[in-house]
């Protein structure tokens, strides 16, 4: 893992040399500005002076451009007391990652890095929603289970237009997240665009300290037998062990089948998805990681399944993403489980987190995921074998037709009335 921080440009100021408005005085300084303008033009066209496309940044990107703009800011900016050098560095690096155009390739400040790792441990403070940037809009991937966002009615695919009546158009994802965050017990108001709704929606959400269990288990007692139910809320640090314990407890009740529920599960660790798939698959591939160079890397099951034959169904929806899709895709391609619900989110890329000095980090998309049969999870996600809607009316009435469909399939259409 590389731990050195290299600076490159792509942000800061668009055209420093236009309409300065007065004579700077020194010929030397004007020559410097002209040189910076030429370098900006080369940078924006992505070519060197000889016309070749930039390749090796250490050899072909003139980092003096960054320092030139830096010195001009230090020397000429009207409010010098407001120039925060750390913020300027973070802004430059953050702009560099944003210029890639991939919402999953991001720079994380020390605070954001800490919150990212806390989220994988199930510890959060805020409204409890996973957001992404798509087509220059902030889109809800999923409200976390039991979170204030879920209780307030935030849904996957909602587009956030305003935060506390402030139009966020043009802001970065991190800027919007910073607006939404706040002290526990305070509220934030989101203006939402939702497909199928004629009017914009306004949601007031009370921020809270959120602890999210990775899994929850339950026995479903019906007139035709017992089913085991495991809800996976994320693929975090303790998820694999929790699923293993849940299966052990449910197995003791001799259920007719198991339902895995990864609805509104935004993902987590790749290794967790592979290990959980290994609990149900005796052999075969779980996922292929395809990088830009070299041979693809195949991740296979461990060969030590705990429940290789028990009938299995898995529930997905529009908020099932990342590791959830890996698990569902592997079980579907191997004909090991029936996938029920709605089309998944389609987050089929791999990010690696590189630690940087000062407890910052950068998360970079390094590969994409393919299911065992070669389906690109990033292009369409996972398509359910049995498509079942779950409407707002269903939720309000306490109905869950997706879960009912899974129970009926496992019990061969027999009575699924709870006892």
Give the active site residue among 320, 322, 324, 361: 322
Q: d(Cα 153, Cα 165) in Å, to the nearest integer?
A: 18
Shared domain for 219 and 202, answered yes or no, is no
Looking only at the bridges linking them, the beta strands covering 225-232 and 257-261 are: parallel
- How confident is the model at residue 117, as a pLDDT? 73
Query: Last residue of a domain, which of 166, 187, 211?
Result: 211
376 classed as catalytic: no
**H helical segments located in 302-364:** 323-333
pLDDT tens readout for residues 67-114: 888 899 999 989 988 888 888 888 888 888 988 888 889 898 888 888
- How confident is the model at residue 121, as a pLDDT? 61
Where would I find the beta strands (DSSP E) of 113-268? 123-126, 129-134, 137-143, 159-163, 166-167, 187-193, 201-206, 208-211, 215-222, 225-232, 257-261
59 classed as catalytic: no
Classify 207 as helix, strand or coil. coil
Residue 363 near residue 352, CB atoms below 8 Å: yes
Largest pairwise CA distance in the chain: 90
Q: d(Cα 77, Cα 403) in Å, to the nearest integer?
A: 60
347 classed as catalytic: yes
- How confident is the model at residue 418, as a pLDDT? 54
Distance of CA 220 to the CA centre of its chain: 31
CATH of the domain at 387: 3.90.226.10
Is 109 contained in some domain? no
- How confident is the model at residue 334, as a pLDDT? 97
Shared domain for 189 and 234, answered yes or no, is no
- How confident is the model at residue 3, as a pLDDT? 32
**H helical segments located in 46-147:** 57-60, 64-76, 85-98, 110-120
pLDDT tens readout for residues 25-76: 334 344 544 554 454 444 444 444 444 444 566 666 777 888 888 899 999 9
Q: d(Cα 417, Cα 413) in Å, to the nearest integer?
A: 11
Percent composition of the chain: helix, strand, coil (DSSP 3-state, to 5)? 30, 25, 40
Give the active site residue among 338, 342, 347, 368: 347
Q: What is the pLDDT along the chain (419 residues), one digit of tens a residue?
A: 333 322 222 222 222 222 222 233 334 344 544 554 454 444 444 444 444 444 566 666 777 888 888 899 999 989 988 888 888 888 888 888 988 888 889 898 888 888 777 666 655 668 988 888 888 899 988 787 778 999 999 998 899 999 999 999 988 787 898 899 888 899 999 999 998 899 999 999 999 987 767 888 999 998 888 999 999 988 988 899 999 999 999 999 999 999 999 998 888 888 999 999 999 999 999 999 999 888 999 999 999 999 999 999 999 998 899 999 999 999 999 999 999 999 999 988 888 888 888 888 998 999 999 999 999 998 889 999 999 998 878 877 889 999 999 999 999 865 555 55
- How confident is the model at residue 118, as a pLDDT? 67
CATH of the domain at 182: 2.30.42.10
If one counts the domains in the chain, the total is 3
Host domain of residue 160: 123-211
Q: d(Cα 138, Cα 115) in Å, to the nearest integer?
A: 19
Shared domain for 154 and 272, answered yes or no, is no
Give the number of other Cβ atoms within 10 Å of residue 114's Cβ: 13
Shared domain for 156 and 241, answered yes or no, is no
Give the number of other Cβ atoms within 10 Å of residue 253's Cβ: 11
Is 11 contained in some domain? no
Instruction: Check: pTM over 0.95? Answer yes or no.
Output: no
Shared domain for 147 and 286, answered yes or no, is no
Shared domain for 305 and 381, answered yes or no, is yes
Give the active site residue among 119, 220, 278, 333: 333
Shared domain for 206 and 219, answered yes or no, is no
Calculate ∠ Cα 134-124-130, nearest 5°.
15
Length of the chain (residues): 419
């Amino acid at each position: 893992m590389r731990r050195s921080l290299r600076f490159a440009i792509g942000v800061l100021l668009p055209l420093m040399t236009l309409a300065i408005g007065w004579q700077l005085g020194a010929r030397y300084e004007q020559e410097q500005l002209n040189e910076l303008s030429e370098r900006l033009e080369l940078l924006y066209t992505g070519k060197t002076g000889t016309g070749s496309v930039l390749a090796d940044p250490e050899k072909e990107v003139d980092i003096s451009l960054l320092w030139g703009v830096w010195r001009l800011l230090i020397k000429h900016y009207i409010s010098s007391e407001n120039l925060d050098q750390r913020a300027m560095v973070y802004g430059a690096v953050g702009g560099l990652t944003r210029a890639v155009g991939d919402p999953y390739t991001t720079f994380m400040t020390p605070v954001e890095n800490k919150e990212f790792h806390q989220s994988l441990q199930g510890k959060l403070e805020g409204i409890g929603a996973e957001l992404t940037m798509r087509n220059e809009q902030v889109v809800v991937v999923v409200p976390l289970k039991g979170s204030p966002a879920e209780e307030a009615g935030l849904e996957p695919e909602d587009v956030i237009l305003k935060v506390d009546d402030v139009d966020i158009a043009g802001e970065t994802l991190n800027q919007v997240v910073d607006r939404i965050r706040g002290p526990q017990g305070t509220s934030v108001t989101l203006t939402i665009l939702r497909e199928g709704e004629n009017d914009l929606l306004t949601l007031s959400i009370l921020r809270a300290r959120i602890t999210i269990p990775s899994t929850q288990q339950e026995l479903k007692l019906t007139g035709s037998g017992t089913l085991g139910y495991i809800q996976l809320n994320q693929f975090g640090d303790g998820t694999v062990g929790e699923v293993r314990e849940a299966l052990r407890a449910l197995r003791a009740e001799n259920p007719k089948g198991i339902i895995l529920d990864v609805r509104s599960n935004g993902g987590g660790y790749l290794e967790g998805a592979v290990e959980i798939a290994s609990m149900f698959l005796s052999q075969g591939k779980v996922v292929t990681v395809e990088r830009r160079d070299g041979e693809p890397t195949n991740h296979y099951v461990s060969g030590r399944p705990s429940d290789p034959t028990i009938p299995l169904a898995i529930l997905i929806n529009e908020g099932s993403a990342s590791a959830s899709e890996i698990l569902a895709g592997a079980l579907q391609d191997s004909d090991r489980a029936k996938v029920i619900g709605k089309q998944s989110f389609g987050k089929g890329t791999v990010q690696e987190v590189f630690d940087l000095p000062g407890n910052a980090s950068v998360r970079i998309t390094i590969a994409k995921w393919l299911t065992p049969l070669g389906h690109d999870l990033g292009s369409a996600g996972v398509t359910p074998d049995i498509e079942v809607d779950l409407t707002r009316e269903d939720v309000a009435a306490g109905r869950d037709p997706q879960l009912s469909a899974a129970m009926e399939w496992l019990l061969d259409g027999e009575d699924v009335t709870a006892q």
